[in-house]
Structure 1
Amino acid sequence: MSQNPFDFSDFGPARQPGGTPPPAFGGAPAPHQGPPAASGGFDPWANQPPSAQSPARPNPESAFGDPGAFGQSGGQQDVFGLPGSGVAAGGALTTSGPPMIWFVIALGLAIAGFVIALAGALAGGLLATALVGWLLAGPVAIGALATYTRIDTRRRTETIYSAPAWAANLYWAVLAVCLVGIALGAWQIALWAGRL
């Protein structure tokens, strides 16, 4: 007689000699007769006393930490174990943009340097006006433009950054005014040095 390949009765709870077979799936349990049967080995906590079951049985909800801690900030950690985000719960996000004040400063210095150098050239090539115009349009104005670039680069790393479309064009316009002022002042300085 061939054995049924789907018979898994050997893996269930052990039968008592002369006892009743275990109930079918979903059926009512058979009345217990005699000493308790040995465990089948599938539930290690099944035959433990109640005092031993509570500390040994793991809590499935605690596998990922405290569920109430998710979505909170202020000392809490996010789901990746990192500190809470810089945005407080319910706080408004701030939009950062380029520091336009440094654009205005750089443009004003470049225009002032160009005007002073041009006035000196029209007055006959004065050395003092040429030096002042060259310094304002050169190192001072370009230094202000470099400060703009440094602050703008740092602001680009923030959460929300928004810059107007004309900001890049204005940057090159300020740089062009700086170069014209530098060239005009340098040309007058070269003329003065040639007359020595």
Structure 2
Amino acid sequence: MPKIVDHEQRRRELAEALWRVIAGSGPTAVSIRSVAAEAGWSPGALRHYFQTREELLVFAMNLSEDRVTARITSLPAAQPADMPLTDRVAQYAEQLLPLDETRRAEYRAWESAGILGEYDKDRAQRWNLQRRLYRQLVASLVGAAVGDPFEPHADPWVEEWSGYLHTHVDGLALELMVTPGMLDADDARHRLRSFLVRIGEAWRYRANP
């Protein structure tokens, strides 16, 4: 009888091997040969699933986004009803910060975007998904209507501060990765919450200058 191949299981094996390569050496170390060796496969067998290094890198970014999305989706059920709003909002933004080994590996997978360049056809969508989250967080923080988070917010103030929050979180993430000795996870959490408090203060000042 011909051997029955579980293709989903094999893709999971490849995903785990790819993740180990990126976590250990970064996306520049990804190649058909390196991932195949990590998985214990031959390069020819891996090419049945991914023809090029670029396809592997896109897969890594998609995998990292799936992991972040899964955590964000599970947050509401895990947050106590009496959790302060600032902490509630901060927990969402923290899912995009490299605060532990899992999220550091995810960040390294996102570094693939710089390598892929024009090959990454979904980069605009990736950016829009993140901006969508920040629009929702700022609107929730100040009690504004969310509206369609995939479109610029109807209130220019909310849209502007969504951009500031996006930039702030990206900056914290980069600092955590590039100069980890200068900023640790607790410092990053504190700075994020301080920034969220400033957003609330700016909103209140806007209403009552």
When normalised by structure 1's length, the TM-score is: 0.28
When normalised by structure 2's length, the TM-score is: 0.27
**Larger Rg computed on CA atoms:** 1
